[in-house]
Structure 1
Amino acid sequence: MAEKQKMKFWSIVLLTINSIIGTGIFLSPGSVAKLSGSLAPWIYLCAAVFASVLAITFASAAKYVTKNGAAYAYSKAAFGENVGLYVGITRFVAASIAWGVMATGVVKTTLSIFGYDSNNTLYITIGFLVLMLILMVINLTGNGILTFVSDISTIGKLLALGITIIAGIVILLQTGHTNLSEINLLKDASGENLIPAMTVTGFVTAVISAFYAFTGFESIGSGASDMENPEKNLPRAIPLAIGIIAAIYFGIVLVSMFIDPKALITSKEVVVLASVFKSKIISNIIVYGALVSMFGINVAASFHTPRIFEAMAKEKQIPAYFDKRTSNGVPMRAFCITALLAIVIPMAFGYNMMGIMIISSISRFIQFIIVPLGVVLFFYGKNREEVLDAKKNFVTDVFFPLLSVVLTVFLLVKFNWVAQFSLKTESGDMVTNWYAISAMVIGYVVLPLVMFMFKKNEK
């Protein structure tokens, strides 16, 4: 049988970009600007610095461990089976549900474009099933077609964002006027300033909100065995992709705030960036670019999320039934269980993203502590399992990982947890968000316990 085609360096870079640029930059600038005012572009740069430090750390882990599974594989190699299992199952569940949320975004946007009710549960469910069928067909064709679709969708979204930046610059040159200062003068219905005074907690909350638009890089190593020379290409591809994305985000947010910061904050549109531009042509480019972006990130998710589950099956921590591939090298059994989870959970919760997104976000922060500490163990040879004899570097293998841990702990300590687990009622009162708390308990306690019980029974 001929050797299956593997991803080369630039395809890995494009896959990384595709895995990161999804809905975040199209939907999040308004909330970030509302928290930070005219500082929003710089908040994105701060988030980019945090993401870059973590990206370098994850890239360092990838040169020691090239097994599929990313954070799961790194954690297991560094700390053993139990820690690996916990990181793996929480990451898998969060990634699957996040995939479901992103799929919901594609379906709702598509329904809206074609004039259908984007809140109709039946329409969303049908669209959901059709999308998953399309993604399954793309995966069944093998890495060649999947890579091609991923590359094209990535190029498409970059063109849409690039055109938006250029159009914004042209508008600014033609008018010779910027409206950036207006954002700090906006008032709410009661006459209070809409933009709060910047505090440490406010800054951290804004950075984490902006950081969500950078998440996804930590999953790239999930499919390392399907890449060409992953121990060399991953450490170069991931930081390069982060740098490209940071430049794009900074340009998009800065231009948008120069043109119409009020629209960025007050718009009720699904794709917030589209409301900044008065030109229907530019608005449509942004909307369709967002759709291409969301579809692209679904393609990326359909590639690396099942491989987390497959990696755990290879290590006998979950049923070996899921450690099977098709003749084209596709882990179809793992794909089906992942897709099922991605469909059922959003459907069960009425396609509400609130608590589900919290699990997705927080699960990444668990990795951002355990994986960096694991890289330090790799450097000093204190790991629990054998790793590759990679070229060691104190800066990337010790300094950056420890810096990652410090930054992650700082953000977790200073983050506004009370607000995160509260909901505002129609009367303006804040009540406990039991939905989000229940989701956290299921994702972090119940499911890991089930997996630990399975593992114990197997032994």
Structure 2
Amino acid sequence: MEDQTEISPPARVKNATLQRGLTNRHIQLIAIGGAIGTGLFMGSGKTISLAGPSIIFVYMIIGFVLFFVMRAMGELLLSNLEYKSFSDFAGDLLGPWAGFFVGWTYWFCWVITGIADIVAITSYISYWAPNFPEWGTSFICVLTLLILNLATVKLFGEMEFWFSMIKITAIVSLIIVGIVLISIGFESPAGHTAALENIWNDGGMFPKGLSGFFAGFQIAIFAFVGIELVGTAAAETRNPEKSLPKAINAIPIRIITFYVLALAIIMSVTPWRSILADKSPFVELFVMIGIPAAASLVNFVVLTAAASSANSGIFSTSRMLFGLSKEGEAPKQFSQLSKRAVPANGLLFTSLCLSCGIILIYFIPDVMHVFTLVTTVSALLFMFIWSMILCSYLAYRKKRPQLHEKSIYKMPLGIIMSWLCLAFFVFMTVLLAFEHDTRQALSVTPLWFIALAVGYQYVKKNKQKNLIQK
């Protein structure tokens, strides 16, 4: 994040010593992993119960909007390879305040998301060990992820590669099993026959009207949290000019396959009114067809999906703290790297913050209630990050038209789509005010930005003081 009066972009990069240890193979699977979040596995039951079959359109609309956000991010990152993440270009194009707000908000986003993931993991583990204390599961999870991330960036890439492979295999398997069940007209123990008509037979595509359709957006947007992770990993990618566009361009087909097709199959096999809001429909489908071993396997898959998301959060937040520290906007200890070129202090601090999930689970035993609360706050803050990417893009088009002209990876309909996507995020924020549980989260979120404003004034004075002393 650059204060143009104090630190130029090249100075920012000269001091950075993060290693480019991620290959194209890693970055492609990190992009897929980011597009298949915990929200798809954990939250899709609730979104289906809220919106019915229209949830398919909800995921398509959100995916369409976020594809353009990612295209904007891709053009910006490739316009200047000295940018290490979107906090860098926000600081450079919108001013130092934007870099500070984006950097710290992104860190907080992933801490909140990580807490949601820890909550989800705890829920999945209880499937096998119902009597094991839930706070104990959370503690073991945080500790394991910390130890793995303290190794090397290449190990992070390998972990994400295999986590993503497990998620892809699971969804493809679910689609294949679902197609077989539909083709043979499988009848469930509850007397439901698997058929494509189940999607629209009970009240059409919009059985809960427009209000139900809009309600689906509130939880569905959390399923896409992490889609921008490919931009955070760009600083540690060996060939960003090749791997970044390839990863972003594949987003639409991934969304159609992993979201739209998977949910259509689930609602064909199990009529949407029979899908439980507080259970993962992925696990329930295999329980329903009477294969307990398969249900355990799918539970393992959704567990790895949550672990993958939490793992990504620990990785990205430690790198964001590293960048903030380099700019004098976070304690200098966060810019110290271990012998393995890993920001160990940032990893430890983030893991300590994730431990708040353990406290939440201890005091609020209702896992789904905790999950809804933290995911709403997370979705709000991620919408802020995505909006700042779009605002940075608009500033880039105004201030640096020559770079846009030279770009080999231009955002389609750049200015028009940026404004349309921003309008969509405003609409999404208004929607969150209509439901009781999401309204609670919406009302407390401004406190974070007040805290940031106070923090930025302190950092600004500190920088000026240091300049005078020099």
The Cα shift of 1:14 comes to 0.3
Name the structure 1 match of 2:337. 325
Residue 209 of structure 2 is aligned to residue 198 of structure 1: yes
Residue 181 of structure 2 is aligned to residue 163 of structure 1: no
SS of the equivalent of 2:209 reads: coil
Residue 409 of structure 2 is aligned to residue 409 of structure 1: no
Aligned residue pairs: how many?
A: 432
The Cα shift of 1:263 comes to 6.3
Name the structure 2 match of 1:229. 239
Q: 1:400 to 1:134 in 2, by over 3 A?
A: same
Q: 1:128 to 1:31 in 2, by over 3 A?
A: closer
Q: 1:357 to 1:185 in 2, by over 3 A?
A: same
Residue 429 of structure 2 is aligned to residue 454 of structure 1: no
Name the structure 2 match of 1:275. 284
Please give the alpha-carbon distance, in whole angstroms, between the structure 1 residues aligned to 2:381 and 2:202. Answer: 35
Name the structure 1 match of 2:28. 13
The Cα shift of 1:76 comes to 0.8
User: 317, 321, 324: which is aligned to 1:309?
Assistant: 321
Contact kept in structure 2, 1:23 and 1:294, CA below 8 Å = yes
Name the structure 1 match of 2:183. 173
Name the structure 1 match of 2:347. 335
Contact kept in structure 1, 2:119 and 2:357, CA below 8 Å = no
Name the structure 1 match of 2:434. 418
The C-alpha deviation readout for 1:401-432, integer Å capped at 9, x for no partner, is 3332233234334x14131556xxxxxxxxx7
User: 303, 306, 328: which is aligned to 1:294?
Assistant: 306
The Cα shift of 1:65 comes to 4.7
The Cα shift of 1:69 comes to 6.2
Please give the alpha-carbon distance, in whole angstroms, between the structure 1 residues aligned to 2:34 and 2:411. Answer: 28
The C-alpha deviation readout for 1:338-365, integer Å capped at 9, x for no partner, is 1111113652573633433222111111
Structure-to-structure mapping, 1:99-138, within 5 angstroms: 99-117=114-132, 123-138=133-148
Once structures 1 and 2 are overlaid, which stretch shifts more, 313-322 or 236-245?
236-245
Please give the alpha-carbon distance, in whole angstroms, between the structure 1 residues aligned to 2:83 and 2:326. Answer: 9
Identity across the alignment (%): 18
User: 259, 262, 275: which is aligned to 1:249?
Assistant: 259
The C-alpha deviation readout for 1:156-180, integer Å capped at 9, x for no partner, is 1111111111111111111175456
The Cα shift of 1:99 comes to 0.9
Name the structure 1 match of 2:7. none
Give me the TM-score of the superposition, normalised by structure 1.
0.83
The Cα shift of 1:234 comes to 1.7
Contact kept in structure 1, 2:233 and 2:316, CA below 8 Å = yes
Matched letter for residue 60 of structure 1:
E
Contact kept in structure 1, 2:336 and 2:344, CA below 8 Å = yes
Please give the alpha-carbon distance, in whole angstroms, between the structure 2 residues aligned to 1:306 and 1:3. Answer: 11
Please give the alpha-carbon distance, in whole angstroms, between the structure 1 residues aligned to 2:273 and 2:304. Answer: 23
The C-alpha deviation readout for 1:305-333, integer Å capped at 9, x for no partner, is 21111111112222222111112111111
Please give the alpha-carbon distance, in whole angstroms, between the structure 2 residues aligned to 1:93 and 1:68. Answer: 21
Q: 1:74 to 1:205 in 2, by over 3 A?
A: farther
Matched letter for residue 325 of structure 1:
L
SS of the equivalent of 1:217 reads: coil
Please give the alpha-carbon distance, in whole angstroms, between the structure 2 residues aligned to 1:362 and 1:69. Answer: 24
Residue 35 of structure 2 is aligned to residue 26 of structure 1: no
The Cα shift of 1:92 comes to 1.3
Q: 1:365 to 1:22 in 2, by over 3 A?
A: closer
Please give the alpha-carbon distance, in whole angstroms, between the structure 1 residues aligned to 2:283 and 2:357. Answer: 30
Give the unaligned 5+ runs of structure 2.
Answer: 1-16, 187-192, 365-369, 465-470
Name the structure 1 match of 2:11. none
Please give the alpha-carbon distance, in whole angstroms, between the structure 2 residues aligned to 1:364 and 1:9. Answer: 26
Please give the alpha-carbon distance, in whole angstroms, between the structure 1 residues aligned to 2:76 and 2:56. Answer: 30
Q: 1:412 to 1:100 in 2, by over 3 A?
A: closer
Please give the alpha-carbon distance, in whole angstroms, between the structure 1 residues aligned to 2:324 and 2:53. Answer: 45
SS of the equivalent of 2:144 reads: helix
Please give the alpha-carbon distance, in whole angstroms, between the structure 2 residues aligned to 1:68 and 1:337. Answer: 24
Please give the alpha-carbon distance, in whole angstroms, between the structure 1 residues aligned to 2:65 and 2:168. Answer: 22
Contact kept in structure 2, 1:30 and 1:264, CA below 8 Å = no
Please give the alpha-carbon distance, in whole angstroms, between the structure 2 residues aligned to 1:309 and 1:68. Answer: 15
Give the unaligned 5+ runs of structure 1.
Answer: 118-122, 188-192, 423-431
The Cα shift of 1:455 comes to 3.5
Q: 1:417 to 1:229 in 2, by over 3 A?
A: same
The Cα shift of 1:71 comes to 3.3
Give me the TM-score of the superposition, normalised by structure 2.
0.82
Please give the alpha-carbon distance, in whole angstroms, between the structure 2 residues aligned to 1:346 and 1:221. Answer: 29
Contact kept in structure 1, 2:18 and 2:342, CA below 8 Å = no
Residue 386 of structure 2 is aligned to residue 375 of structure 1: no
Q: 1:345 to 1:376 in 2, by over 3 A?
A: same
